[in-house]
Amino acid sequence: MDHNEIFLTASAMADAARSRTLPLFRSAGLAPDNKLADGFDPVTEADRESERAMRAILAERRPEDAILGEEFGAAPGRSGLTWVLDPIDGTRAFISGAPSWGTLIGLTDGTGPIYGIVDQPFTGERFEGGLGRAQVTSRDGTRALGVRKGVALDQATLLSTYPDIGTEDERAAFGRVACQVRLTRYGLDCYGYALLALGQVDLVIEAGLQAHDIVAPIAVIEAAGGIVTDWQGGPAHGGGQVLAAATPELHAAALALLQG
Amino acid sequence: MDHNEIFLTASAMADAARSRTLPLFRSAGLAPDNKLADGFDPVTEADRESERAMRAILAERRPEDAILGEEFGAAPGRSGLTWVLDPIDGTRAFISGAPSWGTLIGLTDGTGPIYGIVDQPFTGERFEGGLGRAQVTSRDGTRALGVRKGVALDQATLLSTYPDIGTEDERAAFGRVACQVRLTRYGLDCYGYALLALGQVDLVIEAGLQAHDIVAPIAVIEAAGGIVTDWQGGPAHGGGQVLAAATPELHAAALALLQG
């Protein structure tokens, strides 16, 4: 595999997505459609335009690779590689004007995530991990990502997007961790995983995710030295329950609490 | 009152605060102290340095004005004006690397808030309202603030910082509004009030606030055409329970639900 070609393709995709999402962020005419008959699962023209732009780049540069995208589904490939795309993770944040949404570009082989980008266009931060890279590029330049070490559970900061996500059992399990840490914060969407890779927080726990929500964050966090599994300690890249931790010690402590 | 002198003083204070907070945001050595024996109420050197810098500017430029600051308390004045300062609103966000914290600079006379700044140094946005101004200045220049009109309660976006803030009765009252709106988001601190003034969200409901948390947001939101009261419909600038709404219709609807 030509790593440089992967980096250039992913970078071109992230740039293309930015050019579609950022002009619509906080724009007056943005009217979300609702994907659900019962409830509210918003999708906007920004989501669709961003994924179309990324798929067009793959069609030109990487026609042998498979694609799994949130808005336009799966397309088969022959290379053994699959691009897993979420054009706007955190559409609810996007339509609220909050800069915690992001474009997720993940790459998997038969073993799981091998590379990913978490891109936040409004703050201008691109978090990137895998194939030897672990870095964030912003207006201030490029610097290394790395998780924070040596924080005990009772001094840890825990993130989750929604306090009421998941089933009653899942909320109870989350609560067992939340009551042991020093600080729990909500509402950060994919940006929370980026903050873990940046060494700013120690744990992210979520439930009810899709593969496109988590493949890119896994690659970034693992490249930064962290650990991501499901709530049984197994692979998380298929979605569902996710436990991301800065260190093996925090991962083990949180896993034990989640399992009750 | 010389409005231009007020604007220049407040701008100099916000610049000085930025110069103290931004270098410490996400810095490796930032170790929060805890203000509480039972619980976690973090304060950092960034909070203290930022308030000191703002007070030094007032001492030089506006020695007749009173000051009420989160970290260093009250200082009397003779002008009838009081500067109400929160050097870092959202210290929990600050120590988590999340860009929802801000520096709050409010100005009151005998009647309540007359001017305020909500400054977010990391995104580079300065929201300003009162004395004829209603504007946000960012890297892209300066543009007018204005609340969003014509959104019904069942289409509204509601923000609050914590799902578990306040007493059991306050949580129940908040829940009566949350279950009627289309979308509820958490974790935005003072940035949530800025998003209301920017026309991105429709309601912010909080409890347990201090005067320094809310004086500046009230000035910005009122200048943008919104309404801020307590949960009884009275003045909110003393802190406690706060209901901020984009329109009179949303304010009335939320107030009725809060009062049960």
Query: From the CB of residue A26, how many other CB atoms can be counted at a distance below 10 Å?
Result: 18
Please state, in angstroms and rounded to a whole number, the distance separating the CA atoms of residues B147 and B203: 10
Same domain assignment for residues B133 and B252: no
Please state, in angstroms and rounded to a whole number, the distance separating the CA atoms of residues B192 and B185: 9
Q: What is the domain count for chain A?
A: 2
Of B123, B187, B199, which has the smallest distance from its Cβ to A185's Cβ? B187
Of A122, A157, A187, which has the smallest distance from its Cβ to B185's Cβ? A187
Same domain assignment for residues B137 and B9: yes
Residue B149, pLDDT above cutoff 80 = yes
Same domain assignment for residues A139 and A19: yes
Domain boundary residue, one of A144, A168, A199:
A144
> Given an 8 Å threshold on Cβ–Cβ distance, is B163 in contact with A186?
yes
> Given an 8 Å threshold on Cβ–Cβ distance, is A185 in contact with B159?
no
> Shortest Cα distance from A181 to chain B (angstroms)?
10
Q: Which domain holds residue A196?
A: 153-258
Torsion of CA B88, B92, B96, B100, to 10 degrees: -60
Same domain assignment for residues A93 and A204: no
Q: Token digits for A37? A: 């008959």
Average pLDDT in chain B: 94
pLDDT, tens digit (0-9, with 9 covering 90-100), for A3-23: 999 999 999 999 999 999 999
Contacts of B40 in chain A (CB under 8 A): 182-183
The predicted pLDDT at position B12 comes to 98
User: 3-state DSSP helix/strand/coil percent for chain B, to nearest 5?
Assistant: 35, 30, 35
> Given an 8 Å threshold on Cβ–Cβ distance, is A195 in contact with B95?
no
Q: Phi and psi for B194 in degrees, rounded to 5?
A: -65, -40
Of B92, B159, B199, which has the smallest distance from its Cβ to A183's Cβ? B92
pLDDT, tens digit (0-9, with 9 covering 90-100), for A115-155: 999 999 999 999 999 999 999 999 999 999 999 999 999 99
Closest residue on chain A to B94 (Cα): A200
* Angle between helix A248-258 and helix A168-178 axes, rounded to 10 deg: 140
Cβ–Cβ contact A40 with B under 8 A: yes
Contacts of B188 in chain A (CB under 8 A): 98, 187
Of A187-191, B26-30, B220-224, highest mean pLDDT: B220-224
Q: Of A42, A94, A37, A111, nearest to A70 (Cα)? A: A42
- Are B171 and B214 contacting, i.e. CB atoms less than 8 angstroms apart? no
Same domain assignment for residues B186 and B243: yes
Contacts of A97 in chain B (CB under 8 A): 195, 198, 200-201
> Given an 8 Å threshold on Cβ–Cβ distance, is A195 in contact with B98?
yes
The predicted pLDDT at position B215 comes to 98
Q: Which of A227-231, B27-31, B125-129, B230-234 has the lowest mean pLDDT?
A: B27-31
B172 confidence band (pLDDT: 50, 70, 90):
very high
Same domain assignment for residues A117 and A174: no
Domain boundary residue, one of B96, B112, B144:
B144
Average pLDDT in chain A: 94
Same domain assignment for residues B93 and B158: no
- Buried b or exposed e, range A76-114, using 16+ CB within 10 angstroms: ebeeebbbbbbbbbbbbbbbbbbbbbbbbbbbbeeebbb
> Given an 8 Å threshold on Cβ–Cβ distance, is B200 in contact with A40?
no
Domain boundary residue, one of A144, A176, A203:
A144
Looking at residue B24, the DSSP 8-state letter turns out to be: T
* Angle between helix A45-61 and helix A3-21 axes, rounded to 10 deg: 150
Cβ–Cβ contact A93 with B under 8 A: yes
Same domain assignment for residues B97 and B215: no
> Given an 8 Å threshold on Cβ–Cβ distance, is A183 in contact with B95?
yes
Please state, in angstroms and rounded to a whole number, the distance separating the CA atoms of residues B107 and B86: 12
Give Cα separations from A51 to A9, A55, A59, A147, B156 (angstroms). Answer: 14, 6, 12, 30, 27
Please state, in angstroms and rounded to a whole number, the distance separating the CA atoms of residues A99 and A123: 7
> Given an 8 Å threshold on Cβ–Cβ distance, is B96 in contact with A185?
yes
A43 confidence band (pLDDT: 50, 70, 90):
confident
Pairwise pLDDT comparison (A5 vs A44), residue with the higher score: A5
Same domain assignment for residues B136 and B158: no
Same domain assignment for residues A110 and A75: yes
Of B28, B98, B122, which has the smallest distance from its Cβ to A188's Cβ? B98
Q: Where are the beta strands (DSSP E) in B11-59?
A: 33-34, 42-43
- For the segment B199-218, the average pLDDT, to the nearest whole number, is 97
The predicted pLDDT at position A38 comes to 67
Contacts of B185 in chain A (CB under 8 A): 92-93, 96, 98, 187
Closest residue on chain A to B195 (Cα): A97
- Percent of chain B scored above 90 by pLDDT? 88
- For the segment A210-216, the average pLDDT, to the nearest whole number, is 97
Cβ–Cβ contact B98 with A under 8 A: yes
Same domain assignment for residues B57 and B163: no
> Shortest Cα distance from A185 to chain B (angstroms)?
6
Mutate to test the interface with A, among B96, B155, B171, B182 (most CBs of A within 10 A): B96
> Given an 8 Å threshold on Cβ–Cβ distance, is A96 in contact with B123?
no
The predicted pLDDT at position A175 comes to 94
Domain containing residue A53: CATH number: 3.30.540.10
> Given an 8 Å threshold on Cβ–Cβ distance, is A183 in contact with B96?
yes
> Shortest Cα distance from A144 to chain B (angstroms)?
13
- Are A54 and A105 contacting, i.e. CB atoms less than 8 angstroms apart? yes
Beta strand A73-75 with A82-89 is unpaired
Domain containing residue B199: CATH number: 3.40.190.80
Residue B118, pLDDT above cutoff 70 = yes
Cβ–Cβ contact B81 with A under 8 A: no
Of A26, A96, A182, which has the smallest distance from its Cβ to B40's Cβ? A182
> Shortest Cα distance from A147 to chain B (angstroms)?
11
Looking at residue B65, the DSSP 8-state letter turns out to be: S
The predicted pLDDT at position A187 comes to 87
- Are A77 and A65 contacting, i.e. CB atoms less than 8 angstroms apart? yes
- For the segment B147-167, the average pLDDT, to the nearest whole number, is 90
> Shortest Cα distance from B94 to chain A (angstroms)?
10
Please state, in angstroms and rounded to a whole number, the distance separating the CA atoms of residues A178 and A227: 19
Mutate to test the interface with B, among A186, A203, A204 (most CBs of B within 10 A): A186
Give Cα separations from B145 to A47, B121, B130, B158, B219 (angstroms). Answer: 26, 18, 11, 19, 12
Query: What SS3 class is residue A29?
Result: coil
Same domain assignment for residues B108 and B188: no
Q: Number of A to B CB contacts under 8 A, please give it.
A: 77
Residues belonging to chain A: 260
> Shortest Cα distance from A111 to chain B (angstroms)?
32
